[in-house]
Amino acid sequence: MMENFNNQIIKRSPSNIAIVKYWGKHGNQLPNNPSISLTLNNCYTETKITYSKIENPNTLEMDFYFEGKENQAFKSKIEKYIQENNEHFSFLNGLHLNIESHNSFPHSSGIASSASSMSALVLCLLGIKDKEINLQEASFLSRLASGSAARSVYPTMTLWGKTPSLAESSDEYAISIADNIHPVFKSYHDSILIVSSKEKSVSSRAGHSLMNNHPMAENRYATARKNTEDLLAILKQGDLDGFIKIAESEANQLHDLMATSTPSYTLKEANTINIIEKILEFRKETGLPICYTLDAGPNVHLLYPDSCSEDVHVFIEDVLKNYCHNNKWIDDHNG
Ligand code: PMV
């Protein structure tokens, strides 16, 4: 979505859920392995920037409001990001920015918002410079703010990171793979089962850096590279069983890496495990091609094709909801 009138830009950018996970980085936010994600639709950040000229042509001034309230911590984060990547943002000098941002999903839902918020911010900033935004540039700049944000600028499904079978892939920015996937993956659902709304005890930033001397790091990167190549073929063929195997093994590997880093930690909670067990039981009983994945947190993402959505919604309402914090779940799909 884009609007640009009277020195005002409004952009909306969604969150995404990785199927092959990005976990471990080097240099300036470069990934140690490629990743593939599903772009969500209902979980998004909407950002509005109103800009005006100031007297000093060499400085940038800003105010930042999150959910209607001035937020100094976010403002400092954005200022630091713009300063560190100053060479790409010289067009902001001499401006005052009034930035207002809100999320469609509740702040306390435990859903990571850096992918949607940083990509929405970058899209707005680029909207000050250009009428037509170059999505590759938006992905590149979003990556510098938050790695997974690089994947949020394209709809449906996205690949970030160099992989042999796609010559146009890059570690610097994500690319859309929407044209390379079977129709069954173009309307995939992600029902997010909220196990906890608490803030993560260990941030993703700390998690990435624990990969630096992780005993399984090289093995992990090799597995992720293979899973990326395999998943690209699976997505093209519409192979639901192949998708399930990779999605679940990637989720488990991510959390196993946390459990085996030094210091070790876990972000899963009892109800994370309870929900996973129920999903596996339901799949066995019904034969429906549903599966789970996990982000860096306790919430469970239940993934399934559109054809299962009626049965799965009944299953969530009857069974899974009881394991969710305040019975809360978010119905989303790729968009
Ligand atoms: O974008 P970051 O630095 O918050 O890292 C995200 C890492 C995971 O969400 C766990 C996996 C991924 O690929 O999105």
To test ligand 1's pocket by mutation, which of 23, 25, 36 has the most ligand atoms within 8 angstroms of CB? 23
- Whether residue 147 has its Cβ less than 6 Å from ligand 1: yes
- Whether residue 146 has its Cβ less than 6 Å from ligand 1: yes
Averaged over 62-77, what is the pLDDT?
96
Is the pLDDT higher at 230 or at 110?
230
To test ligand 1's pocket by mutation, which of 13, 16, 22 has the most ligand atoms within 8 angstroms of CB? 22
What pLDDT was estimated at residue 286? Answer: 98
- Whether residue 295 has its Cβ less than 6 Å from ligand 1: yes
Pick the atom of ligand 1 nearest to 20's CA.
13
- Residue 2's pLDDT band (cuts 50, 70, 90): very low
Distance 280 CA to ligand 1 centre (A): 25
Condensed to tens digits (0 to 9), the pLDDT of residues 250-265 reads: 999 999 999 999 999 9
To test ligand 1's pocket by mutation, which of 35, 38, 122, 148 has the most ligand atoms within 8 angstroms of CB? 148
Following DSSP, what letter does each residue of 68-99 receive, concatenated?
TEE-HHHHHHHHHHHHHTGGG-GGGTTEEEEE
Burial of 252 (0-12, 13-18, 19+ CB in 10 A): middle
What pLDDT was estimated at residue 108? Answer: 63
Averaged over 158-181, what is the pLDDT?
98
Condensed to tens digits (0 to 9), the pLDDT of residues 263-300 reads: 999 999 999 999 999 999 999 999 999 999 999 999 99
Which CATH code, of 3.30.390.50, 3.30.230.10, 3.40.50.300, 3.30.70.100, is assigned to 7-333? 3.30.230.10
- Residue 149's pLDDT band (cuts 50, 70, 90): very high
- Residue 169's pLDDT band (cuts 50, 70, 90): very high
What pLDDT was estimated at residue 234? Answer: 98
What pLDDT was estimated at residue 199? Answer: 74
What is the C-alpha separation between 307 and 187, in angstroms, rounded?
9
- Whether residue 225 has its Cβ less than 6 Å from ligand 1: no
Pick the atom of ligand 1 nearest to 205's CA.
3
What pLDDT was estimated at residue 197? Answer: 82
- Residue 105's pLDDT band (cuts 50, 70, 90): confident
What distance, in Å, lies between the first and last C-alpha atoms of the chain?
13
Distance 254 CA to ligand 1 centre (A): 10
pTM of the model: 0.96
Distance 284 CA to ligand 1 centre (A): 30
Distance 22 CA to ligand 1 centre (A): 6
Provide CB contacts within 8 A for 162, sequence distance 6+: 34, 169, 170, 171
What pLDDT was estimated at residue 335? Answer: 78
Of the chain, the percentage scoring pLDDT greater than 90 comes to 93
What pLDDT was estimated at residue 3? Answer: 47
- Whether residue 333 has its Cβ less than 6 Å from ligand 1: no
Distance 32 CA to ligand 1 centre (A): 12
- Whether residue 35 has its Cβ less than 6 Å from ligand 1: yes
Averaged over 174-179, what is the pLDDT?
98
Residues in the chain: 335
Pick the atom of ligand 1 nearest to 22's CA.
13
Q: What is the mean pLDDT of the chain?
A: 95
pLDDT at 107 over 50: yes
Provide CB contacts within 8 A for 288, sequence distance 6+: 282, 304, 308, 311, 312
Contact in structure between 259 and 252 (CB atoms under 8 Å): no
**CB count in 10 Å sphere of residue 71:** 17
pLDDT at 159 over 90: yes
Condensed to tens digits (0 to 9), the pLDDT of residues 235-252 reads: 999 999 999 999 999 999
What pLDDT was estimated at residue 141? Answer: 98
Contact in structure between 207 and 32 (CB atoms under 8 Å): no
What is the C-alpha separation between 14 and 154, in angstroms, rounded?
9
- Residue 64's pLDDT band (cuts 50, 70, 90): very high
- Whether residue 15 has its Cβ less than 6 Å from ligand 1: no
